[in-house]
Amino acid sequence: MAMNSDDGIDSSHPRYSSLVLRKKLADGFKAGLVVPEGLIAHGRGEMFDYILGEKSIEASIVSERAAAAALLSARSPVISVNGNVAALCPDAVVALAEIVEARIEVNLFHWSNERAALIRKRLEREGAKDPLAENPDRYLKGLKRDRGRCHKDGIYSADVVLIALEDGDRASALAEMEKTVISIDLNPISRTTACSTIPIVDELTRAFPNISKSATELKNDSSVSDILKSYDREKVLRETIDHMADRLNSFDL
Ligand code: PTJ
């Protein structure tokens, strides 16, 4: 049997990449980075990705380019990191933060100071500079409980916030605070997608490197504001849903 020496997963399995992500999440759960609910959330994402075709479609790439443009033109951009993101692609998060000069904030739906510290250390191992994590000192608008906690010097005062796999209430609160919200969520009809300024319907381990690639291309490029002006979120979402519907209708039964 063909085995990959790094992760012990049979590399000849047709769903190898998916198995690798599952293992990263399971390992993240055992290490205390991921909550059990995160495993369920990932399963829902896998289902949408299956229908999407497990690749970044043209509509996603358009949003990823707009996301890069928004991050590059931000005054104070923040990338929000939860347990799943930290388990799946901490390296890609740190790489993007460096390219667009964004602050990283560990921001959790299921809040705990201990888990925030673990995630911060995981990000620091990848080279994250001064990520915000423990002891948040503010609340998102309208969310006075643990799930509303955030940092004054991070999400609270940011103008552009990138969120991945985010709860709908928290995403709505960010939109109500009049921030530019960039979401990464495979569900094209989630509340997070619905209230996001730039909704990216793509798998997060593909989305982060795609945004970084565009940001590298667009750095010092004067077309950034034109990209943002011409971005049409409804068109992108319509194309995404049409793509999914076409795929569902084209399967041989
Ligand atoms: O670490 P915490 O405490 O902040 O908790 C994180 C979770 C993910 C548990 C929390 O944010 C949550 O409950 O999220 P939801 O409301 O279940 O939303 C997750 C969304 O992300 C769903 O719409 C999924 O389809 C989508 N999703 C799951 N895995 C991926 C994904 N989207 C992109 N890439 C993925 N790998």
pTM as predicted:
0.96
Q: Is the CB of 27 under 6 A from ligand 1?
A: no
- Asked whether 151 and 136 are in contact (CB, 8 A), the reply is yes
Compute, in angstroms, the gap from residue 2 CA to the centroid of ligand 1: 32
| 83 touches ligand 1 (CB under 6 Å) | yes
Confidence of residue 14 (pLDDT cuts 50, 70, 90): confident
In angstroms, what is the span from residue 230 Cα to ligand 1's centroid?
Answer: 29
CA of residue 42 to ligand 1 center, whole Å? 6
Position 225, amino acid: S
Residue 111 · residue 124 · CB < 8 Å? no
**pLDDT tens by residue, 31-86:** 999 999 999 999 999 999 999 999 999 999 999 999 999 999 999 999 999 999 99
Closest CA to 152 of 139, 162, 165, 161: 139
**Element at 230 (helix H, strand E):** helix 224-230
One DSSP character per residue, 185-215 reads: -S-TTSHHHHH-SEEE-S-HHHHHHHHHHHH
**Ligand 1 site, residue 167, Cβ cutoff 6 A:** yes
- For residue range 141-172, list pLDDT tens digits in order: 999 888 899 999 999 999 999 999 999 999 99
Q: What is the mean pLDDT of residues 215-225?
A: 93
Per-residue model confidence (pLDDT) at position 116: 98
- Can you tell me whether residue 233 is helix, strand or coil? helix
Q: How far is the CA of 253 from the centre of ligand 1 (A)?
A: 31
